[in-house]
Amino acid sequence: KDLKESIKNLDSYTHVRGESLYVDDVNIRQGTFHAVVFDSPKAHGKIKHIDYSKAEALEGVIRIFTYKDIPGKNEIGGIIPDEPLFAENEVHFWGMPIALIVAETEFIARKARDLIDINIEDLPVITTAKEAKTKGSFINAPRSFSLGDTENAYKDCDFIFEGETFSNGQEHLYIEAQGAYAEPLENGNIKITSSTQGPTAVQKTVAQVLGVSMHKIEIDVTRLGGGFGGKEDQATPWAVMAALATHHLNQSVKLILNRHDDLRMTGKRHPYESSYKIGLSKDLKILAYEAEFLQNSGAAADLSPAIAERTLFHATNSYYVPNVTTKVLSCKTNLPPNTAFRGFGGPQGMFVIESAIAKAASEIGVSPRQIQEANLLDENDTFSYGQIAKQVEAKTSWNSAKNIFNIEALERDIENFNRTNKAFKKGLALMPIAFGISFTNTPMNHARALVHIYLDGSIGISTAAVEMGQGVNTKMMQIAAEVFSVPIEKTKIETTNTTRVANTSPSAASSTADLNGKATLMACNSLLERLKKVASEDLNAPEDSISLKDECVYTNGEKSKLSWTDLINKAMLKRVALTENAHYATPEIHFDKTKEKGHPFAYHVYGTAIVITTVDCTRGTYEFDSVKIVHDYGKSMSKGIDLGQVEGALAQGIGWMTMEEIAYNKDGRLLSNALSTYKIPDLFSVPKNVEVIPLETKGHELAILKSKAVGEPPLMYGIGAYFAIQNAIKAYNPNYNLKFHAPMTPEKVLMSLYQN
Ligand code: LUZ
Ligand code: MOS
């Protein structure tokens, strides 16, 4: 049996039985307290007065903690130290934590929250990036990438177009809200169960806020009910608050946000306001491209500077443009600090160049697909950041998609449909992607694995990987099962715990399986070498003749008398170590921020999607008939899991581009604050038909078992949905003036259909 073909996400067994453990399922110890966060009811202002007395007097309230109770630093910022755990004298966004109410029950803590009186003197509220730019309100200095010479290149262009785009934020909507459970151990040590993608960030920040050493703080993660980037940085504050209360009360404290609190207090995908200038030759080559990206960073840096950087990395998507100037400004506003979200700034960058191409195509009077096709990356082309493109699959995936799905026939069918239908119009768009794999911050690209073989031959594996539904645990088990040739049931993934694997990077950047998988592979291979030596001595056969197969030792391909468990027993008797710890750091990558040049990515993931939509021109509603994809998995090590990642990312990308609409009012209050006002794709709105064909390639050496990273790249296929709808609108209304303002909600579609 081939595990690559047949393996399922092994978490599904406990999921469907309702037995999977999340933070809220931790067995809480007797006497555990429950906490609720008191947050700012204003987006910007000076705190004049807070009266906690009525809340404190409520029966069952244990204590209310504020910044005054912090023994260490009131600072949780990761990249830039600009974010307090609790507001001191000013509030900077609606939902900013001010205090933690600890009570005997969550219900009491919530009741107490309503009894707090706060008086805030209003300060001016900035909600948009443009406004922040006008007022000079920034997180940090702008970043800029350049290749060639755009100024000169425009002189050679036959066509030049300029325009503006907007893409809105996106709510992560992990099914499991943010939360943590802190318990006191002896000697002031604290163990925290956290729903985090980054256990080390939590450990480090707890230590910093409590003013204790990291070794006193243990973080444990079984799995998350989704993360999508929302728990890369923003799982931290809740864990820190729970730990702070535990530190003072010497009692366990549980803090789980409810959906309303989570939506209001946490940051989202960054909205971007951008402008572009694109120059093309008569034969549709993009000769020059300029873009300025205004990132709405929110009230603190969080991961914004890294996200801004990735926008620049992906500003030209899968196209080769010889002359590029891009600039990104992280604009400080009074929204909750926006944060990592699947794609990490890449999708925002790609939307702009796709908009520029759509605009150019419409003005020149060609199909956008002709411009896309004329500019796809080739082997040895240079990205604007200096990396030379290798093993490029831009054209292969594009041509495969066109051929396999017969693009001419699809386009003909749509033309026929549109000619014969008045009330419904169809639209089609192609969406090629190229996404760089690695943390763009080179030092983060490392991981470790700790592998034990127990004396009965079963195997326990600890890594830095956090399971969040992406199936990484299954992939890690597959690696061990394959190296030792034992059934996957003989392997187990332990919880992600900072005492077993320390100083870890978050599970993010699509890199978790690559980094932790390579470390696991190294650890398993070291153990295998050791075991081969034991077998060689025992069987009196040369080491290089030994192999393992189906739980047996083979010599020169002949089955020996030694079984896998016999071999482990022999190793024990010979006092051979059956534990190994391995460290992996991605080779070859580097980046020089002073020059903004380097080779930041281990490799790129490519693919092409064809998105087909039908718009109801009476109502403005739309459906997606089909999405047809040729995707570059490399050599997928877990076909079912990887297909699931593509399908899920696609739905999420389509949601971002079409129906998910975050709204703040001008006072900075979140209006889309419930699932009645914020819609994500459900079973009825995902594409009716999704076909994903793997591109045949040889895979990449830096990908785990040549199986390329799959978490984020397919989200960007969803960008095609915007342009497919736009093409359907054009088919109905020749007066429609192209606008690039995502999401393309039914309301906007309706307005566009009847614009004249
Ligand atoms: N997180 C991060 C990420 O810290 N650095 C990255 O480059 C990244 N890329 C994608 C998603 N998360
Ligand atoms: Mo991320 S957007 O936490 O990979």
Q: What length does the chain have?
A: 756
The two structure tokens encoding residue 43: 């987006």
Q: Whose CA is nearest to atom 6 of ligand 1?
A: 439
- Give residues (CB < 6 A) around ligand 1: 229, 232, 303, 306, 310, 340, 344, 439-441, 508-509
- Which atom in ligand 1 lies closest to the alpha carbon of residue 508? 12
pLDDT digits (tens, 9 = 90+) for 37-92: 999 999 999 999 999 999 999 999 999 999 999 999 999 999 999 999 999 999 99
Q: Is residue 153 part of a domain?
A: no
Same domain for 629 and 537? no
Which atom of ligand 2 sits closest to the CA of residue 511?
Answer: 4
pLDDT in tens, 137-188: 999 999 999 999 999 999 999 999 999 999 999 999 999 999 999 999 999 9
Residue 610 has a pLDDT of 98
363-376 pLDDT per residue, tens: 999 999 999 999 99
Q: What whole-number distance in Å separates Cα of residue 495 and Cα of residue 192?
A: 13
Protein residue with its CA nearest to atom 3 in ligand 2: 229
What is the number of the ligand closest to the CA of 508?
2
Instruction: Please list, residue by residue across 255-293, b when 16 or more beta carbons sit within 10 angstroms of its beta carbon and e when fewer do.
Output: bbbeeebbbbbbbbbbbbbbebbbbbeeebbbbbbbbbb
CA of 272 to the centre of ligand 2 (A): 18
**Phi then psi dihedrals of residue 577, to 5 deg:** -65, 130
Q: What CATH number is given to the structural domain containing 656?
A: 3.30.365.10
Mutation choice for ligand 1 from 80, 143, 200, 307, CB with most ligand atoms inside 8 A:
307
Tell me, in angstroms, the distance from the centre of ligand 1 to residue 66's CA.
32
| pLDDT at 290 exceeding the cut of 80 | yes
Distance of CA 500 to the CA centre of its chain: 25
Does one domain contain both 346 and 378? yes
Are the CB atoms for 737 and 670 separated by under 8 Å?
no
Enumerate the H helices of 298-453 as residue ranges: 304-313, 346-364, 368-374, 394-404, 407-420
pLDDT at 247: 98
Residue 301 Cα to ligand 1 midpoint, Å, equals 14
Among 193, 225, 256, residue at a domain's last position: 256
Q: Is pLDDT of 2 > 90?
A: no
Structurally, the chain folds into a number of domains equal to: 3
Mean pLDDT over residues 586-591, rounded?
Answer: 98
Rounded Cα gap, residues 468 and 470, in angstroms: 6
b/e string for 604-627 if b means 16 or more Cβ within 10 A? Answer: bbbbbbbbbbbbbbeebebebbbb
Residue that finishes a domain, picked among 230, 256, 282? 256
Pocket test for ligand 2, best of 196, 228, 231 (most atoms within 8 A of CB): 228
The answer on pLDDT for 711 being more than 80 is yes
Same domain as 566, residue 633: no
CB contact at 8 A, 604 and 389: yes
* Shortest-distance ligand to the CA of residue 512: 2
Does residue 267 belong to any structural domain of this protein? no
Query: For residue 690, what pLDDT band results from cuts at 50, 70 and 90?
Result: very high
Residues 393 and 412 in one domain: yes
What's the rounded mean pLDDT across residues 652-673? 98
Decide if pLDDT at 1 tops 70: no
| Distance from chain centroid for Cα 392 | 23
Q: Is the pLDDT of residue 451 over 80?
A: yes
In 3D space, the residue among 180, 181, 182, 188 whose CA is nearest the CA of residue 213 turns out to be: 188
pLDDT tens sequence across 336-367:
999 999 999 999 999 999 999 999 999 999 99
Regarding whether 93 and 230 lie in a shared domain, the answer is: yes
Query: Would you name the residues annotated as active-site residues?
Result: 712
Q: What is the DSSP string of 125-156?
A: ---SHHHHHHTT-BSS--EEEEES-HHHHHHT
DSSP state of 588: S
Stretch 560-571: mean pLDDT, rounded? 98
State whether 450 and 432 are in the same domain: no
Flag whether 262 is in a domain. Answer: no
DSSP three-state, residue 252: coil
Decide if 130 is inside a domain.
no
Q: For residues 734-743, give the mean pLDDT.
A: 96
CATH code, domain carrying 60: 3.90.1170.50
Q: Is 226 in the pocket of ligand 2 (CB under 6 A)?
A: no
CB-ligand 2 contact for 435 (6 Å cutoff): no
Return mean pLDDT, the chain: 98
Assess whether the C-beta atom of 261 lies below 6 angstroms from ligand 2: no
* Ligand located closest to 227 CA: 2
Q: Which ligand is nearest to the CA of 303?
A: 1
Nearest CA to ligand 1 atom 5: 439
If asked whether residues 552 and 647 sit together in one domain, one would say: no
Strand partners, 277: 162, 290
142 occurs within a structural domain = no
Mutate to test the pocket of ligand 1, among 342, 440, 645 (most ligand atoms within 8 A of CB): 440
Let me know: does 577 contact 530? Beta carbons within 8 Å: yes
Q: Are residues 276 and 369 in the same domain?
A: yes
**Percent above pLDDT 70 for the chain:** 100
Give which of 362, 368, 424, 418 is closest to 616, Cα–Cα. 424
Question: Cis ω on the peptide bond leading into residue 713 (within 30° of 0)?
Answer: no
Dmax over Cα atoms in the chain, in whole Å?
Answer: 87
Residues 452 and 573 in one domain: yes
* Ramachandran region, residue 251 (left: φ > 0; alpha: ψ -120 to 50; beta: rest): beta
The tokens describing 447, both together, are: 């991981």
Whose atoms come closest to the Cα of 197: which ligand?
2
pLDDT surpassing 90 at residue 756: no
Whether residue 20 contacts residue 223, with contact meaning beta carbons closer than 8 Å, is answered with yes
Q: Is the peptide bond before 271 cis (omega within 30 degrees of 0)?
A: no
How far is the C-alpha of 686 from the C-alpha of 683, rounded, in Å?
6
Amino acid code (one letter) for 371: I
Question: What pairs with residue 607 in β-bridges?
Answer: 433, 631
Domain that holds residue 522: 446-585
Provide the 8-state DSSP code for 325.
E
229 lines ligand 2 (CB under 6 A): yes
Cα(340) to ligand 1 centroid in Å equals 7
For CA atoms 478, 446, 394, 681, the dihedral sign is positive
> Same structural domain for residues 436 and 451?
no
Task: Quote the CA–CA distance of 617 and 415 in Å, as a whole number.
Answer: 16
Residue 749 lies in a domain: yes
For residue range 216-228, list pLDDT tens digits in order.
999 999 999 999 9
pTM to 2 decimals?
0.98
Q: Does 290 share its domain with 367?
A: yes
pLDDT higher than 80, residue 692: yes
Give residue 232 CA to ligand 1 midpoint distance, Å: 9
Ligand 2 lined by 568 (C-beta under 6 Å): no
Question: Does the CB atom of residue 713 touch ligand 2 within 6 A?
Answer: no
Q: How far is the CA of 309 from the centre of ligand 1 (A)?
A: 10
Instruction: For residue 35, tell me if it sits in a domain.
Output: yes
CA neighbor of 686 nearest in space, from 659, 711, 662: 659
Q: How far is the CA of 230 from the centre of ligand 2 (A)?
A: 8
> How far, in Å, is the centroid of ligand 2 from the Cα of 469?
13
DSSP letters, 730-752, are HHH-TT-----EE---HHHHHHH
> Both 294 and 228 in a single domain?
no
- Domain boundary, last residue among 225, 256, 287: 256
For residue 100, the model assigns a pLDDT of: 99
Residue 134 lies in a domain: no
Nearest CA to ligand 1 atom 8: 509
3-class SS of residue 727:
helix
